[in-house]
Amino acid sequence: MFNIGPYAIDSRVLLAPMAGVTDLPFRSICRKMGAGLVTSEMLSSDTRLWQSDKSRNRLAVAEDIGPISIQIAGSEPQMMADAARACAEQGAQIIDINMGCPAKKVCKKLAGSALLKDEALVKNILQAVVQSVDVPVTLKIRTGWDTQNKNAIQIAKIAENEGIQALTVHGRTRACRFNGEAEYDTIAEIVDNVNIPVVANGDIKSAEKAKEVITYTSAAAVMIGRGAWGRPWIFKQVKEYLEDDTLSTQPSIKQIKTIVLEHIEALHAFYGEFMGVRIARKHFTWYVQQLSVSNSTTKNFNQLETSTSQISAVQEFFARLNYHEEKAA
């Protein structure tokens, strides 16, 4: 357990913010499955853009999966401060600043991890945001600009001095994008150099790996992104393993069916018929990949155009799986 400002975080495994993935329905499932904190997809600090459906969806919050953490990205201190205040007014209990994203569009505007190059600007942004809100502010970074310029320790010290209440570090530089393996040495060094909770992130896809990283880095928690695609139950597995060394297996087919149905129904309800059906395709594909069954299932599913036909297809898919499982037993 650790604290972010006044909030006691009840699990040492957190969900990584992922644009296009960690919408309210997915965050809700992951939080209920044991993630201690679930952060929104990043939101531009340009509040003029918030009228779009996309931004409105990203701002949607739910009290029962708190503390509510909303992530903002941008490079203008004043705009970031205004955006943070607007998020707090909409119910954010934690503001997370994204300085970890390598996306081109973001970097062109010198946002995301490109900001790490300019330590004075980082300081100004953090100061402006922390001073603009009463809620705790957290920061997410990479280990540096590139392998020759790994300044994460310096950034971590700036963050601590400016009142950042928790720091997540993805163990890659901006230049690494998603290539190679994440490294945890820099994260361990950061933990040694600051007195705020540090969260280790990058390539953690199992309970064993989570424990290894926590032990190696002494981080307050780990954060999982891609490892949660199609298997939100990973949070329960990691939480239990970290808390009492229990290594639980994957849920039963029946339990997975309940999770998938709830997830897809929540997507339909949240986005409405047209978008809901399209977004459900991606998640169902991930679930099917986890269950390692043939691709023809997702091919058929991806052609369905209505929520009711998707729900029937999911029911049929699990009925077939159950049948095969029972036959094999």
Ligand X SMILES: Cc1cc2nc3c(=O)[nH]c(=O)nc-3n(C[C@H](O)[C@H](O)[C@H](O)COP(=O)(O)O)c2cc1C
Stretch of 74-82, 199-207, 279-287, 321-329 contacting ligand X, by CB under 6 A = 199-207
23 near ligand X, judged by CB under 6 A: no
202 near ligand X, judged by CB under 6 A: yes
For residue 101, indicate whether it is catalytic: yes
Residues in the chain: 329
Nearer to ligand X, 156 or 314 (CB): 156
42 near ligand X, judged by CB under 6 A: yes
17 near ligand X, judged by CB under 6 A: yes
Q: Residue with CB nearest ligand X?
A: 225
100 near ligand X, judged by CB under 6 A: yes
77 near ligand X, judged by CB under 6 A: no
Distance between CA 224 and CA 234 in Å, rounded?
A: 9
Query: In sequence order, what are the residues at sequence separation of 6 or more whose Cβ sits closer than 8 angstroms to the Cβ of residue 58?
Result: 23, 40, 41, 42, 43
- Out of 20, 63, 120, 296, the only residue in the binding site for ligand X (CB under 6 A) is 20
67 near ligand X, judged by CB under 6 A: no
DSSP tally for the chain: helices H, then strands E:
13, 10
Which stretches does DSSP call E strand in 50-191?
69-73, 94-99, 137-144, 166-173
Task: Lay out the site mask for ligand X across 259-288 (x = CB under 6 A, - = otherwise).
Answer: ------------------------------
Structure tokens at 290: 């986890």
Stretch of 16-24, 76-84, 130-138, 275-283 contacting ligand X, by CB under 6 A = 16-24
- DSSP assignments along 2-27, one per residue: EEETTEEE--SEEEPP-TTT--HHHH
Structure tokens at 14: 């957190």
Distance between CA 314 and CA 301 in Å, rounded?
A: 8
Catalytic annotation, residues? 101
- Binding region for ligand X (CB under 6 A): 16-21, 41-42, 71, 98, 100-101, 140, 170, 201-204, 224-227
